[in-house]
Amino acid sequence: MFSEEFLQILRCPINHGRLQLADGNLLAQLNEAIASGQVQNRAGGQVEQALEGGLVDATGALLYPVHGGVPCLLAEEAIVVSQLDRIVKD
């Protein structure tokens, strides 16, 4: 999806760490939860569009969505990955 050189220069807007591509399993889980209306972004808005891809911060806590091949690196649009734990338990 993105070249290694491009990934080398991208940084998380919150913690300024490096970003890496999200794995397919995480994307599948998030897309399933998005389809059922259970995912919110950091701003508290419901995520309605399925993820084409994602970039995860170095801690694995935040995922920045990718739509149309373009990463959205806005802090409020990030998805807190740990909300999947709550969704799976419900």
Tokens describing residue 77 = 């649009």
Evaluated on CA atoms 77, 81, 86, 90, the torsion sign reads positive
This model's pTM is above 0.95: no
Tokens describing residue 18 = 């490096």
Do 30 and 48 touch, CB atoms closer than 8 A?
Answer: no
Q: Which pLDDT score is estimated for 89?
A: 60
* d(C-alpha 73, C-alpha 86), whole Å: 24
Q: Which whole-number Å values give the CA distances from 9 to 4, 5, 37, 59, 88, in the listed order?
A: 9, 7, 33, 17, 34
Give the percent of the chain with pLDDT over 90: 92
pLDDT band at 87 (very low <50, low <70, confident <90, very high): confident
